[in-house]
Structure 1
Amino acid sequence: MKVKIPNIEKNQFLDEIGDIARFTARFFREVSKPKQEYREFINQCFSIGYKTLTLVGVTAFIMGLVLTIQSRPTLVEFGAESYLPSMVSVSLIREIAPVITALICAGKIGSGMGAELGSMRVTEQIDAMEVSGTNPFKYLVVTRVMAATLMVPVLSSLANAISLYGGYLGVNIRGQVSWHLYWFQVFGVLDFSDMLPSLIKTFFFGFAIGIIGTYKGYNSTKGTEGVGRSATTAVIVASLLVFIIDLIAVQITDILGLT
């Protein structure tokens, strides 16, 4: 007689998805209620946006520089070196800069939210807020998710611009392209359909990073060990969601004929 052993990991995975869905639904309910925490929202925008700008800017500049340097030999081989600014700009704006920016934010913002809220949960600060009559979900979760949803597109837009400046430097390392000619070639090939889908999907990137980071931290358990696990899993799940959202966005833009 065969005994069926239940797949515990599969059940835990499905339970986790259900918990995240309920957590997301609660977020939308709390957002629709009055008396928002605007001061905390602004503080989170500063923490997420301004304090991440240096890391995103340096990464974007190096990304544009390296992509240009690495792409040049291949184009030279086919006699298409003049297309280098156009190719680099489309690659950066459409795909590379938004996704890399989102992954950086998932690592820095997602882990920060998971660790911060996890520490507050295990030290019973969240329970104390509930006892004192404060709504901890609105104060801690809603503000952070909204700030991440707003700031990731801003950081992505800045990363687009900075990476193009890096591309200009990369073009002129072994070649000679004037400032005006470079930007003429860059904007000559870019279209509205290149920038709009790239911008829209970054809002979903930010929302996913905020939801996962706050969910993992808000529901942290098992003391300090749970705090570390919350921070780690927040980064992993948020990064995975970034790739899934990007895949869906590419399919949608292809169906709509925007590629």
Structure 2
Amino acid sequence: MKSLGSYLLFIGNLFTRMEVFNIYVKRTIDEAVKIGINSLTLVAIVSTFIGMVSTVQTAANLVSAFIPRSVVSLVVRDMTILELAPTITSIVLAGKVGSNIAGELGTMRISEQIDALEVMGINSASYLILPKVLGAMLMFPLLVIVAGFLSLYGGYLVGTALNVVTGQEFVAGLRTEFQQYSVFMALVKSVVFAFLISTISAYQGFFTRGGALEVGQASTTAVTNSCIAVLISDYVVAQFLLTLMSNG
């Protein structure tokens, strides 16, 4: 509970004694480019192969002649949009983006750069961390969209190449009973995951004490806690949005 309270106070500190708006715009754009461009290749590789594996395994389990082969892409579509694209992508990004944020801030802390900012009267938490949080919340949804598209495209390629399903059947399955609310759920999840990963990682790095060994430990702790937070929030957000949809 002490750590949770400290984390919540840390979040509140991000929005106090803020700098000029233009500074945040520039720094947020820089952080968004760093997070998005540097993570694009990794997200593309992971999502494409996840789509391929999902298609092959789904087709292998559809052994009944009474089930149309278009069901393969329908199942892959729902798995990808609702779970694989937002959750798996965010867990992968927790390892890359989260460890980078924690390591960068931890290094700044032990080298006394953060203390120097405080001496100059700058709210170092707001100045350094808020642009990272905003940049992550901007780029995670875009990366999830890319991941979802490449996952489905990878499934299409391997399905047609192995003659598991024809191109027409795959597209027909994608269109069958498609619900736009699923895309909305995926994007909401990605924003929540981005906030949790960036703030938890920043918290671990910002309060690092010691030397280089402690920076590595902070990065490891940041990734571990971020992954746990993503999985817990995945259930909470999904339950909330499904309840909202049923009541609406």
In 1, the alpha carbon distance for the partners of 2:172 and 2:202 equals 43
In 2, the alpha carbon distance for the partners of 1:110 and 1:117 equals 11
How large is the Cα RMSD of the aligned pairs?
A: 1.9
Counterpart residue number, 2:48:
61
Unaligned runs of 5+ in 2: none
Mark the CA change 1:30 to 1:74 in structure 2 (over 3 Å): closer, same or farther: farther
- The one-letter code sitting in structure 1 at the alignment partner of 2:40 is L
The two structures have a TM-score, normalised by structure 1, of 0.88
The two structures have a TM-score, normalised by structure 2, of 0.92
Mark the CA change 1:199 to 1:32 in structure 2 (over 3 Å): closer, same or farther: farther
Counterpart residue number, 1:122:
110
Q: Deviations over 1:128-181 (max 9, x none)?
A: 122234432222111111111111111111100110101101221332645454
Mark the CA change 1:176 to 1:104 in structure 2 (over 3 Å): closer, same or farther: closer
Counterpart contact for 1:36–1:138, Cα < 8 Å: no
Q: Which runs of 4+ in 1 moved over 6 A?
A: none
Alpha-carbon distance, 1:250 to partner? 2.0
Alpha-carbon distance, 1:75 to partner? 1.0
Identity of aligned residues (%): 33
- The one-letter code sitting in structure 1 at the alignment partner of 2:54 is L
In 2, the alpha carbon distance for the partners of 1:244 and 1:66 equals 25
Answering whether residue 33 of structure 2 is matched by residue 49 of structure 1, we say no
Query: Counterpart of 1:202 in 2: which secondary structure?
Result: helix
Counterpart contact for 1:114–1:217, Cα < 8 Å: yes
Q: Deviations over 1:66-121 (max 9, x none)?
A: 01001111113464233111111111011111100000111101110101100000
In 2, the alpha carbon distance for the partners of 1:160 and 1:218 equals 33
- The one-letter code sitting in structure 2 at the alignment partner of 1:16 is S
Counterpart contact for 1:126–1:136, Cα < 8 Å: yes
Counterpart residue number, 2:180:
192
- The one-letter code sitting in structure 1 at the alignment partner of 2:157 is L
Mark the CA change 1:197 to 1:30 in structure 2 (over 3 Å): closer, same or farther: farther
Structure 2 counterparts to residues 67-78 of structure 1, below 5 A: 67-77=54-64
In 1, the alpha carbon distance for the partners of 2:19 and 2:26 equals 17
Count residues with an aligned counterpart.
245
Q: Deviations over 1:26-84 (max 9, x none)?
A: 22446698454222211111110110000001100000000100111111346423311
Counterpart residue number, 1:3:
none
